[in-house]
Structure 1
Amino acid sequence: MKIGYITKQHPSNRKAYSGTHYYMFKALEQSFEEVVPFSPVDSNYKIIPKAKGRLLRLLTGKVYKYQYDIGLAKRMASIIDQKIEDHQPDALLASLMNPEMAYVKSDVPFYLTSDATSVLLNEVYGSHSNLHPLSVREAMHLEKKAFEKATKLILPLQWLADSAMKDYGVPSSKIEVIPYGANLDTEISEDEVGQLLQHRRESPIIKLLFVGIRWEEKGGPFAVKVLRSLLEKGMNAELNIVGSEPDIPNQPEGINVIGFVDKETEEGRMRLDQLYKDATFFIMPTQAECVGMSFIEAASYALPAIGSETGGVPEAVIDGETGFIYRSSHTSEEVADWIIAVRKDRQRYSNLSQQAYARYKNQMNWGNWSRKVKDVITLLH
């Protein structure tokens, strides 16, 4: 079976969408006979809605998101239709292309996967709070139309499926929930899990690992508070910060600012691999999150994770089973107390670690995702 894989940026770009397009493409290649990238999908026409956005911002103070412009969506759809004509695929998988698929005319069955809807983006990020009403209407129109045209929605979270049903009227029979995988090249074996657990238990230091570019949004300041609480309680602890280089007022001891690590280089991949292996807990008490790819990556290293009750995080981190879900009512002292209690209880720590890894191996990996996607497409083809 020949699959057309539609993305805005070429899947060879590991930096696009945190590598999701790249790892998704590689997984599809393992399951289908032929996968043809239909990318990049772009149009010079976007200068017009961009200009419209600047004018509306000047006149109203409101933001117009050119990505939801209906004229642009139609032109992007015509580009996709031409690629379909050129390559003659049996089916299409469009990744994070909700608006662009709304006006595709081809009758080739297409499957849509995405990490968010515009309604959820507003709910989690508040991204629509200052949107021009025209943008809000266009976003809803394009997504609803794309969802109606799609053969199936293949979504990574039940949270997204619920939004598709409630906010867009998509029937449950048209939705498949299949979790995404970890955007990493390295994968530890079950034998290595045992070795890592022994190493972590024997380490005299509680090593917290934070991985995120947007420091404030991803809850970096709260992670520092948790470290302070651990130190105040007499614990030997440190916080390794990857992806960000924040200014931390009254920086406590134990902060290691590593900054950006390039996963496109062998050196960067090895560095990140070692940081995950050396960590005791993964912490990202994010204020806004959709899929929570970093938590999946942590699970692939059998790391108990500390996440927050936002977006799809509670599906990536199962509270009490694979980690701890931080709620707004929790203080940094309470999170530190949980860490200390788990750290002192060797069996509890082992259970959390092994359950996180088992969930990754059984559900949250790209091999599982691509096999199930193939089952869905083959059944309906």
Structure 2
Amino acid sequence: MTHHTTQHDAEQAPGRLRIAVASPGDPYDRRTWSGSTYFIVKALEPFVRSLTWIGPLTIPHQDLKKRLAAVRHRITGLRTYPERTLKASQHFARCIDKRLDQEAFDLLLAPAASVETAHIETRIPLVYISDATFALMQEVYPIFSSMGDAAATEHRFEQAVINRADLLVYPSHWAARSAVTTYGADPDKVRVAPFGANLDTPPSREASLGRRVKGRLELLFLAKEWERKGGDIAFHTLKSLIDNGVDARLTVCGTVPPASFRHEQMTVIPYLNKNIPEERARFQEVLNRSHLLLLPTRAECYGVVFCEAAAYGLPVFATDVGGVGTIVENGVNGHLLPPDADGADFACLIRDTALDPTTYMRLNTESRRRYEEHLNWDAWGRTMVHEISRVLRVKQR
């Protein structure tokens, strides 16, 4: 006799779940997938019985093979990733299947782990989480366009995990749409669940609201990569604002610009490691003193930094690329300009909006509201509990 799970039972089911996590990096290290894997695990912990990382997943002599691949790239210009080959994927799958055979798990969670899970044989439900498909990565990131024959292998990994997964979760409509249109994913198993801000101690509502631009306008460029994130455009935005009589300062945090980009009104703070409490506190202090996030990014799958800005009530001024449009709504919690916009365009928009007290107050309020309602990990966790329950309900039929 088939047991039909009630809605109430289904919602409670995750509390009894033992979840295995297949991740290419340690999920408890905030540097893994820019911290998103850490917060994915933390968001689910209150709702499940246990979460167990299957790892570290590495191939034999991985470090040596990666160094040799780097040498080959310098000589030939061709990028290869020894930990992303067919042989590597099959090796990872054997390791995962072996671990799953040793203990009873109810669900396998695979954040950013297409290579690791493409060849698994286990039949327990698989939930795959990613911020992009490989097809999109090839479109927006030049490093993935010089892979030669390896690119075809990556597409096969992507196709295999999309076919095998019981639930496909993406933070943006941009990525979800690609899974369906490029890889033929069943729309019924595709869900959009925006990631949250990667902050251990987000600021209070009171601390985020009521910001005012008094005196100097504090611009924040927060990124690890100067060129890809549009650092040159941010720099010229600062210069254009100053040329038009605005007292502005640009704080560059997370990277060191090329030597040609220097200005007395620009402060550079190199990379801050959130695993270190003192550096995490400085990261929060930088956000706290800023008025807006300026990130004219050239390529972006999602951009958790935009969620972090929302937590602090910072309006975002960015480019409309990749999955950014799921986070930033034009005129609501910020503004998105086309990819061909230059520093003068951004400066003009900032003068017309951020320098108007009424407009800035509205942007500030809406930024925090979007964080509280959508762009936080608690909301993501609740959505996932609901979706996992649905998957288990279907499996039980």
TM (norm. structure 1) is 0.92
- 1:135 is matched with 150
State yes or no: 1:156 paired with 2:171: yes
| Structure 2 SS opposite 1:252 | coil
Deviating more after overlay: 29-38 vs 91-100? 29-38
CA deviation map 1:25-55 (0-9, x unaligned): 1111122121112222222175898699689
1:227-306 alignment to 2 at 5 Å? 227-249=238-260, 251-306=262-317
Cα displacement (A) at 1:66: 3.0
Q: Distance in 2 between matches of 1:142 and 1:40?
A: 20
Q: Distance in 2 between matches of 1:49 and 1:259?
A: 30
Amino acid corresponding to residue 261 of structure 1 in structure 2: L
- 2:390 is matched with 379
Match of 1:36 among 52, 55, 68: 52
Cα displacement (A) at 1:380: 2.0
Q: Distance in 1 between matches of 2:118 and 2:245?
A: 57
Amino acid corresponding to residue 11 of structure 1 in structure 2: P
Match of 1:189 among 195, 204, 207: 204
Q: Distance in 2 between matches of 1:59 and 1:236?
A: 48
Aligned-residue CA RMSD (Å): 2.2
Q: Which has the higher contact order (CA 8 A, sep 6+)?
A: 2
Amino acid corresponding to residue 174 of structure 1 in structure 2: K
Q: Distance in 1 between matches of 2:119 and 2:64?
A: 19
Q: Check conservation: 1:45, 1:72, Cα contact below 8 A.
A: no
Q: Distance in 1 between matches of 2:280 and 2:143?
A: 32
Q: Distance in 2 between matches of 1:52 and 1:190?
A: 50
Cα displacement (A) at 1:180: 0.7
The count of aligned residue pairs is: 376
| Structure 1 SS opposite 2:228 | coil
Q: Which runs of 4+ in 1 moved over 4 A?
A: 45-61
Amino acid corresponding to residue 317 of structure 1 in structure 2: V
Match of 1:167 among 167, 182, 204: 182
Cα displacement (A) at 1:141: 1.1
Q: Distance in 2 between matches of 1:370 and 1:28?
A: 6
Match of 1:97 among 95, 98, 113: 113
Amino acid corresponding to residue 127 of structure 1 in structure 2: I
Which 5+ residue runs of structure 2 have no aligned equivalent? 1-16, 393-397
Identity of aligned residues (%): 29
Deviating more after overlay: 229-238 vs 209-218? 209-218
Cα displacement (A) at 1:239: 0.4
Cα displacement (A) at 1:298: 0.6
- 1:365 is matched with 376
| Structure 1 SS opposite 2:366 | helix
| Structure 2 SS opposite 1:94 | strand
Amino acid corresponding to residue 110 of structure 2 in structure 1: A
Q: Kindly tell me: are residues 284 and 248 of structure 1, through their superposed partners in 2, closer, same or farther at Cα, counting changes over 3 Å?
A: farther
Amino acid corresponding to residue 254 of structure 1 in structure 2: Q
Q: Kindly tell me: are residues 79 and 254 of structure 1, through their superposed partners in 2, closer, same or farther at Cα, counting changes over 3 Å?
A: same
| Structure 2 SS opposite 1:207 | strand
State yes or no: 1:74 paired with 2:90: yes
Which 5+ residue runs of structure 1 have no aligned equivalent? none
- 2:325 is matched with 314
| Structure 1 SS opposite 2:160 | helix
Q: Kindly tell me: are residues 248 and 222 of structure 1, through their superposed partners in 2, closer, same or farther at Cα, counting changes over 3 Å?
A: farther
